[in-house]
Chain A
Amino acid sequence: MRYSIMVQLVTGITIVLVSTAALFGWLQNRPTPMQRDFENEASWFGD
């Protein structure tokens, strides 16, 4: 039983670590404000 707690603990830690890696990926790839403005401007000019 104690080791099933251990498995749950390690699973929980793994989820936190992988989620943080995913967040890291998003933070490094999120569109910057400048890019967003540029896209909006481009759509206004219809080209």
Chain B
Amino acid sequence: MTVASLASAPIAPARRNLHRFANPGRFLRLAGRVLPWLAAPGVVLTAIGIVWGLFFSPADWQQGDAVRIMYIHVPAAWLASAGYAGLAACSVASLVWRHPLADLAAQEIGPPGAAFTALCLITGSLWGKPMWGAWWVWDARLTSVLVLFFLYLGHITLIRAFDNPERGYRAGAILALLGAVDLPIIKFSVDWWHTLHQGNTFSLTGAPHMYITMIYPLIFTTLGFSLVFAAIVTARLRAAVMERRIRALLLARAEERVA
């Protein structure tokens, strides 16, 4: 194969689709259309789930009403991990395909991801105190989620620590990929070690270890929080793309004046 034929070789469909949305104008239009469809159902589902979980779902026979904390804690825990998985996926897209929006997306996922991880840790602590008699234990599940929180903070700091943003993005992407090792540790920590934290309630093969009337509000809050999280990240990314264009325009004007 000659160099000329390599240069004119068609781009693989997956890569072409991935790069279609690298165009800021196209991304902004798509994000603008998608955003209301993420935000509105997200808020409605979350509101239904919260009211259902707080007032209408049954109390647990052992834990009593403290089990209602689950309807906040579990979606926050899911999004802590899912957000970091998204961060790692953006890092792959940045390092492998050099996707222009991947770095910005990783930058914008970090703060809400860290906030939801903190929410998971705090609500877990508020649930643990009445159930275990302690605000915190150095349990494998709790500790691995705390490590995830520090990974988020490290990523947020590292990506903004360089004068040259490209170097910050690259360092952040490498940290995000290395930190992704923590995700399976979080998931399987309750199987690999004896933990005070309860085991997995849901599995792909078995029936859930939970009463069905508790599962419904949990599904509502989990779906609602997920859509709200997606809406937050989309809105932040949309703002970041516009801010980048503003910076570029102001820089071009400044250069024109100097010239």
Asked if A and B bind, the verdict is no
Residues of A within 8 A of B (CB): none
Residues of B within 8 A of A (CB): none
